[in-house]
Amino acid sequence: DADVTQTPRNRITKTGKRIMLECSQTKGHDRMYWYRQDPGLGLRLIYYSFDVKDINKGEISDGYSVSRQAQAKFSLSLESAIPNQTALYFCATSDPLKRTGGTGELFFGEGSRLTVL
Amino acid sequence: QQQVKQSPQSLIVQKGGISIINCAYENTAFDYFPWYQQFPGKGPALLIAIRPDVSEKKEGRFTISFNKSAKQFSLHIMDSQPGDSATYFCAASSPGGTSYGKLTFGQGTILTVHP
């Protein structure tokens, strides 16, 4: 089984609909992230959470919200989806470099492809 | 604004050739520079990383060259193989009481290695 699992893997929806993308991890990492991938733009950070009670906006958080339900679960919501939110979304986890001796490496899920019509 | 600029956007190389991907950054506070490799249908995975206290790091056929004064770093893939065909992302992060997980990524390079 994958260490970082994203659901759904593919979703087609209509403008104005509410969408939730879910992420769960078995790596035991405190830190979780949501990135968005667009061709030619690379990966851009939407939100990140360093523990259950700590949630922070990334560079493109407008139109998105998140919920950290538990250490292992981090969900991304689009309250009212719009076509320019059509993208590939990635959840990732990391182990802090200094605090626990981790490498700081990001571990990504396999992505959720969202199409907003 | 794009704090990490990556080029080229796509690259075609013959098997056995050298693939070179370049990145430039603006934020002088960046002090960790990883490269991620992404195969179709998969999430990116860490390939190799460097910190600015060294100018080069080599792992097998993959080498990062780092030029701190020019604020540039590059990935060299020696003896490129068809299995190296993937999208490559450079990235950078800075400290500040946190770890290196909060990365700023480049735009990505689609590498195709022809047999």
Task: Please give the structure tokens belonging to residue B34.
Answer: 């990883």
For the ranges A100-114, B24-38, B60-74, which has the lowest average pLDDT? A100-114
Do residues B104 and B95 touch, judged by C-beta distance below 8 A?
Answer: no
What is the average pLDDT across B6-14? Answer: 97
pLDDT for residue B97 is more than 50: no
State whether A42 and B89 contact (CB < 8 Å).
yes
For the ranges A103-107, A108-112, B55-59, B109-113, which has the lowest average pLDDT? A103-107
Of B32, B44, B99, Cβ closest to residue A31: B99
- Tell which residue, A9, A105, A25, has the closest CA to residue A68: A25
State whether A31 and B101 contact (CB < 8 Å).
yes
pLDDT for residue B51 is more than 80: yes
For the ranges A75-84, A105-114, B66-75, B95-104, which has the lowest average pLDDT? B95-104
pLDDT for residue B95 is more than 80: no
What is the average pLDDT across B4-20? Answer: 97
What local confidence, expressed as pLDDT, does residue B84 receive?
98
Rg (CA), chain A: 14
Shortest CA gap B81–chain A (Å): 24
State whether B42 and A45 contact (CB < 8 Å).
no
Distance CA B109, CA A53 (A): 36
Task: Report the residue count for chain A.
Answer: 117
Helices (H) and strands (E) in chain B, counts: 0, 11
State whether B107 and A4 contact (CB < 8 Å).
no
Task: Sort out which chain B residues have CB atoms less than 8 A from A31's CB and list them.
Answer: 99, 101
State whether B46 and A41 contact (CB < 8 Å).
no
State whether B99 and A96 contact (CB < 8 Å).
yes
Task: Sort out which chain B residues have CB atoms less than 8 A from A48's CB and list them.
Answer: 101-102
pLDDT for residue B2 is more than 80: no
pLDDT for residue A80 is more than 90: yes
pLDDT for residue A101 is more than 70: no
Distance CA B85, CA A51 (A): 36
- Tell which residue, B73, B61, B59, has the closest CA to residue B5: B73
B113 phi/psi in degrees, rounded to 5: -110, 115
Interface test with B, best of A43, A51, A90 (most B CBs within 10 A): A43
Cα dist from B65 to B21, B24, B51, B54, whole Å: 10, 12, 11, 9
A2 phi/psi in degrees, rounded to 5: -70, 145
Q: For the CA atoms of B20, B29, B3, A101, what is the dihedral angle to 10 degrees?
A: 70
pLDDT band for position A13 (50/70/90)?
Answer: very high
Provide the percentage of residues in chain A whose pLDDT is more than 70.
91
